[in-house]
Amino acid sequence: MKERKIYDALIVGSGASGGWVAKELTERGMEVLMLEAGPPRFPGRDFTEHVWPYQLKFRGFGDRKRALTDQPVQSLCYACDEYSHQFFINDSEHPYTFPPEKPFMWIRGRQVGGKTFCWARESYRYSDFEFKAASRDGYEQDWPFSYADLEPYYDKVESFIGVSASYEGLPQMPDGKFLPPMNLSCGAVHAKQVIEKRFRWRVMPDRVANLTLPHNGRPACHYCDQCQRGCYTASYFNSPSVTLPAAARTGRFTLVPDAVVSHVLMNREGKAEGVHYVDRVTKKDREARARIVVLAAATLESTRILLNSRSPRFPNGVGNSSGILGHYLMDHFTIEGAGGEFAELQSSEREPVGNPCGYLIPKYVNAGGVKNRNFLRGYRFDGDASQELYSQAFSFPGFGRTWRERVRREIPYRFSIEAQGECLPRYDNYVELDPERKDAWGIPALRIHASYGENERAMAKAMRQDIGDILEALQVKNTSPPSTDLSVFGKNIHECGTARMGMDPKMSVLNRYNQVHDAKNVFVTDGAAFVTQGCYEPTLTIMAISARAADYMADAYKKGEL
């Protein structure tokens, strides 16, 4: 009988986190196996950024039958449509549950690359306003390291993937290793002038993982502005175009797609020996062996695997001796829908398509400047200002000369703004294995208990007030007010926590290097490790902590400590 190969490390998940762990470990000489629950994606078949509506069966409006039967949850995401539904899961195969009074919107992408094909590419560094937030306001816990500890890894990640941004010198939003920023539109420049004069808030080009110059063999962005549909030129970061090829070039990387991991295989001594997985297509059971197991399957999937890894030594799942596993779930909440028209810019030159980068107003409230005693932590703003010809013309009814004249005459110059706030980590926001529901491969589904609290509602009130003040200062016409409700938990696809890091094993699941306290050769490197969330997108920080954890793994493995 052929002996099963034992790899140095096994990584579950091929997205932003898993790609970085694979790159770092293989470049340090380790042999790595990566398991991905979904199939590979191919540009010629799956990418649609250059496809026009008239080339689609439903002209871009989508197959309603598919949306209702296969993707009723996924279709709620702005990026899941007739162009890009292939990047999202089939909901009927991936059930989850929640109490009726606590709705949760779980957006998932299972393929080689995970959600990096259709992410918003916003790439922000956290600062000690996030890492040491508890020391500032006394709520919950600090991260077990500081910004200074993570800064070299932010540098490494940005230098490799390419992040276009402006240097601003703001302590609450550290600068990094940037490519030149994308330009603001004329409407955003106008808004910048008014907002900076009236409120003294910095307005800058968004920080995005789109290339503005050729970088590491990849060409610059060509501004088709359809980044959620894939990118033929790999001009924005996704792991199959950037980190996974780097790992493959070492000759020490093996990727197995369609491998749905069920649980970690633990021995009697409390060490991981590998994982059990199910072939997505044949549904046959398989095992894979390694000396280190790294979970990078995205926040809730990694936690589900840990909870399901039960044994006599770990009856409640690996990493759950403290009872903390699954708790402290966070997701950003947004106040959306606000905007208006710049009447004075309506005659400006129209662009055929827009810019993949809008504007950003970083956090000011409770960030060393303005204090608001009604809530803890803070929020930031983003949006865009544009007069795009194609996207708006497609929504105009009619045809022929009259229609063309109307398009030239009536397309308004739109300004939009939204605010995104920080969700506090709370023990009573948690996930658990559902006692009855299972997915298509027989793996227990998650039951999710999550809601926003009084702090988020108080913050939302201030966010709405600020948005109203901004619209008034800009004197926009035909104003639409900000939404009155908070976004549904999970909608922003920034779920973090549930296997948080910490110094105290009784109050955390992982140590400062993403290592499970209870099992020293098991690591969790995705958003599950987060202690706080801040109000900024987590992906760049996920990549940085993944690179840092991989550095630690490689050193410890070399010393024989794992």
Name the band, by pLDDT with cuts 50, 70 and 90, for residue 349: low
pLDDT band per the 50, 70, 90 thresholds, residue 305: very high
Burial status of residue 78 (CB atoms within 10 A of its CB: 0-12, 13-18, 19 or more): exposed
Q: Say what the pLDDT of residue 288 is.
A: 98
**CA dist., res. 145 & res. 513, Å (int):** 9
Q: Above 90 in pLDDT, residue 23? A: yes
**pTM for the full predicted model:** 0.96
Q: How far apart are CA 521 and CA 528, in angstroms?
A: 17
Angstrom distances, CA of residue 388 to CA of 79, 225, 269: 18, 11, 62
What does the pLDDT average to over 259-263? Answer: 98
Query: What angle is formed at CA 110 by the lines to CA 304 and CA 418, rounded to 5 degrees?
Result: 90
Q: Which has more confidence, 258 or 399?
A: 258
Res 1 pLDDT > 50:
no
Q: Which of 26-30, 202-206, 484-488 has the lowest mean pLDDT?
A: 484-488
The answer to whether the beta carbons of residues 426 and 454 sit under 8 Å apart is: no
Mean pLDDT, the chain, rounded, equals: 94
Confidence of residue 351 (pLDDT cuts 50, 70, 90): low
pLDDT > 90: what percent of the chain?
85
Cβ 18 vs Cβ 37: under 8 Å: no
Integer angstrom CA distances of residue 538 from 203, 410, 439: 21, 39, 27
Q: What is the pLDDT of residue 331?
A: 98
Token readout for 133 is 């937030």
Q: Please check the confidence at residue 554 and state whether its pLDDT lies above 90.
A: yes
Q: What is the structure's pLDDT at 2? A: 57
Say whether pLDDT at 52 is over 90. no
Instruction: State which amino acid sits at residue 295.
Output: L
| Residue 310 main-chain phi, psi, to 5 deg | -95, 145
Whether 398 shows a pLDDT value over 60: the answer reads yes
- DSSP-derived letter for residue 218 is B
Q: Which long-range CB contacts under 8 A does 150-154 form with residues at least 24 apart?
A: 150/126, 150/541, 150/544, 150/545, 150/548, 153/544, 153/545, 153/547, 153/548, 153/551, 154/125, 154/540, 154/544
Model confidence over 405-429: pLDDT tens digits?
Answer: 877 777 788 999 999 999 999 999 9
Q: State residue 197's pLDDT score.
A: 97
**Strand runs labelled E in 293-443:** 293-295, 333-341, 359-361, 379-386, 414-421, 430-438
In this predicted structure, what is the pLDDT of residue 405?
80
How does residue 124 score in pLDDT terms, banded at 50, 70 and 90? very high
Q: Is the dihedral of CA 552, 555, 558, 561 positive or negative?
A: negative
The full set of domains in the chain, from first to last, is 1-122+238-330+431-451+495-562 (3.50.50.60)
Q: What percent of the chain has pLDDT over 70?
A: 97
**pLDDT value of residue 188:** 94
Nearest CA-CA partner of 372 in 385, 363, 383, 360: 363
* Distance linking the first and last C-alpha atoms of the chain: 28
- Distance separating alpha carbons of residues 307 and 433, to the nearest angstrom: 7
What pLDDT score does 200 carry?
94
Instruction: Look at residue 356 in the predicted model and tell me its pLDDT.
Output: 87
Residue 400, pLDDT score: 87
Tens of pLDDT, residue by residue over 53-96, are 778 888 777 777 777 789 999 999 999 999 999 999 999 999 99
What local confidence, expressed as pLDDT, does residue 51 receive?
86
pLDDT digits (tens, 9 = 90+) for 461-499: 999 999 999 999 999 999 999 999 899 999 999 999 999
Most confident of 86-100, 333-347, 358-372: 86-100
Residue pointed to by tokens 């997915």: 439
